[in-house]
Structure 1
Amino acid sequence: MSYASRPYAAMPGAATHGRRFQYYDLIMVGFVTVLLCSNLIGPAKVGQIELPFALPGIGESLSFGAGNLFFPISYIFGDILTEVYGYARARRVIWAGFGALVFASVMSMVIIALPADPAEPFNATLQPALETVFGNTARVVIASIVAFWVGDFVNSYVMAKMKLWTRGKYLWTRTIGSTIAGQGADSLLFYPIAFLGIWSAESIASVIAFNFAFKVLLEATMTPVTYAVVGFLKQAEGVDIYDRGTNFTPFSIKD
């Protein structure tokens, strides 16, 4: 039977407890990979693009953190996980991403702090480069981890609840609505924790507004891709999970 014709069952998450899925682990790996790359590589560079016309308050060029191009993809993965596999399995993936992000941050700090061997000539250029790329302050690291954890759980919770409210219809309302809530929480936490007292309140508010709008716009633009992936996975896995009776505590990794 082809994926296009294979039936799938709408069922509560508890009905699939202990079941193994064909693509779940691959989606988890994709989520964690995007999360790590966007948090470790992206923040090191500020990009700039020239606009075809001047925008009020922005001008003719637009500067942005390069990681913002890819970090919203993790929210798309989160939407797909919650929509297809349910909140409980999405929760496991969020904790996997949290653990990976904490480990990568600690590893970066340890490697940067290790004394460089002066006998190796490349260390003279490598050490400053590592400090520039991976040497985030403790505030930025904490802000990134906290904002990710809260934002992703808000995103998944809203996604699961809206699926019940809409009875599984209008997927686009859930993907965009959950992103508005999740990315809003992420931005409202990250920038004040990382930069309050360093940047002016006006600058923080401006950056929050721009990044929030950009991330939501990207989610909306990617809606056709989300629809295609969700449809494929539901057919391939043979399920469509609704979180009826789910324990929505974030402090668990049970499915």
Structure 2
Amino acid sequence: MKPVTAPSTRVRYAARTRTHFDVILALFCVVLVVSNIVATKGIELGSGSWSLGSLQLWPVITDGGAFLFPLAYVLGDVISEVYGFRAARRAVIVGFGASIVAALTFVAVEHAPAASFYENQGAFEAVLGQVPQILLASMAGYVVGQLTNSYVLVRMKARTAERGLVARLATSTGVGEAADTLIFCAIAASAIGITSMGQFWNYAIVGFVYKVLVELIVMPVTVVVIAWLKQREPGYWDDAAPVVD
């Protein structure tokens, strides 16, 4: 006869719902934190100089975040389309928290006494010392841009249901990226060395166009991923599930 285990002494674990949201959320946070770090490097593509009035057209000015940050909007679209606005808002909050933890860690390490044999304190401060300003810029743009992106997408979905996926992905990204880029560039410009309005508008316009183009280029992949998730997430096609989140 099996011994009966008293409820108070049983080893218990919380049930883990079978969902892919946690994996996507983890990727979302990694993209955001890494982008905030590498965005401290200003990048200038091209040689020579070409301007239209006060607007510098060439060389192209961007930052290191351009390599990875557009993926944050791709993931944001996936979350909003499959899981709804509340899930997207949760992703924004968790990503915000992860970035704050990273920035506070950098500040604490920067001000901690350096070892006598450590020769790279100046380089450490030059790179990671800019992260708090970049973080402020990123968070301001990110919160407004991501929530705008998600809101536009779910409102359009409320009207079109499963139709018009590409249209709502493109529209929501354009609106969200415009808000994000303008806010981010206004705060972060001085941190990467931008000193003129011509350079600023180059930075902002190039950033917006580039991010939207990346979204459009990878959209076929985004659509496939969304379709794959919709087929595998329990409850998505359940009539009892909420139609609008």
TM over 0.5: yes
Q: CA deviation at 1:50?
A: 5.6
SS in 2 for 1:44: coil
Distance in 1 between the 2:237 and 2:73 partners? 19
Q: CA deviation at 1:216?
A: 0.4
What corresponds to 2:30 in structure 1?
33
Distance in 2 between the 1:139 and 1:28 partners? 24
What corresponds to 2:64 in structure 1?
66
Is the Cα–Cα contact under 8 Å of residues 140 and 184 in structure 2 kept in the other structure? yes
Task: Mark the CA change 1:102 to 1:36 in structure 2 (over 3 Å): closer, same or farther.
Answer: same
Distance in 2 between the 1:86 and 1:222 partners? 21
What corresponds to 1:98 in structure 2?
96
Task: Mark the CA change 1:55 to 1:21 in structure 2 (over 3 Å): closer, same or farther.
Answer: farther
Task: Mark the CA change 1:141 to 1:89 in structure 2 (over 3 Å): closer, same or farther.
Answer: closer
What corresponds to 1:88 in structure 2?
86
Structure 1 unmatched runs, 5+: 1-17, 247-255
Spell out, residue by residue over 1:190-238, the C-alpha distance to the aligned partner (whole angstroms, 9 max, x if none).
Answer: 1223347x73333322211110010001000010110110011001114
Task: Mark the CA change 1:111 to 1:86 in structure 2 (over 3 Å): closer, same or farther.
Answer: same
- Residue identity opposite 2:233 in structure 1: E
Task: Mark the CA change 1:46 to 1:186 in structure 2 (over 3 Å): closer, same or farther.
Answer: same
Q: Check if 1:225 corresponds to 2:221.
A: yes
Distance in 2 between the 1:39 and 1:201 partners? 23
Give the structure-1-normalised TM-score: 0.77
Query: Which of these two proteins has the greater Rg computed from alpha carbons?
Result: 2
Is the Cα–Cα contact under 8 Å of residues 114 and 121 in structure 2 kept in the other structure? yes
Spell out, residue by residue over 1:113-170, the C-alpha distance to the aligned partner (whole angstroms, 9 max, x if none).
Answer: 112122x2xx11x212211221116543322221111111111111111111222212
What corresponds to 1:158 in structure 2?
152
Task: Mark the CA change 1:151 to 1:114 in structure 2 (over 3 Å): closer, same or farther.
Answer: same
Is the Cα–Cα contact under 8 Å of residues 86 and 243 in structure 1 kept in the other structure? no
Structure 2 unmatched runs, 5+: 1-14
What corresponds to 2:164 in structure 1?
170
What corresponds to 1:146 in structure 2?
140
Task: Mark the CA change 1:211 to 1:178 in structure 2 (over 3 Å): closer, same or farther.
Answer: same
Distance in 2 between the 1:76 and 1:232 partners? 15
SS in 1 for 2:39: helix
- Residue identity opposite 1:80 in structure 2: V
Q: Which has the higher contact order (CA 8 A, sep 6+)?
A: 1
Spell out, residue by residue over 1:48-102, the C-alpha distance to the aligned partner (whole angstroms, 9 max, x if none).
Answer: 5569xx998644x644312112101011001001111111112111110000011
What corresponds to 1:202 in structure 2?
198
What corresponds to 1:212 in structure 2?
208
Distance in 2 between the 1:44 and 1:159 partners? 30
Task: Mark the CA change 1:19 to 1:176 in structure 2 (over 3 Å): closer, same or farther.
Answer: farther
Is the Cα–Cα contact under 8 Å of residues 44 and 132 in structure 1 kept in the other structure? no
Spell out, residue by residue over 1:6-62, the C-alpha distance to the aligned partner (whole angstroms, 9 max, x if none).
Answer: xxxxxxxxxxxx99342111011111111111111x2133445569xx998644x64
Is the Cα–Cα contact under 8 Å of residues 62 and 206 in structure 2 kept in the other structure? no
What fraction of aligned residue pairs are identical, expressed as a percent?
Answer: 32
Distance in 2 between the 1:84 and 1:240 partners? 11
Aligned length: 221
Q: Check if 1:44 corresponds to 2:43.
A: no
Q: Check if 1:108 corresponds to 2:102.
A: no
Distance in 2 between the 1:173 and 1:219 partners? 12
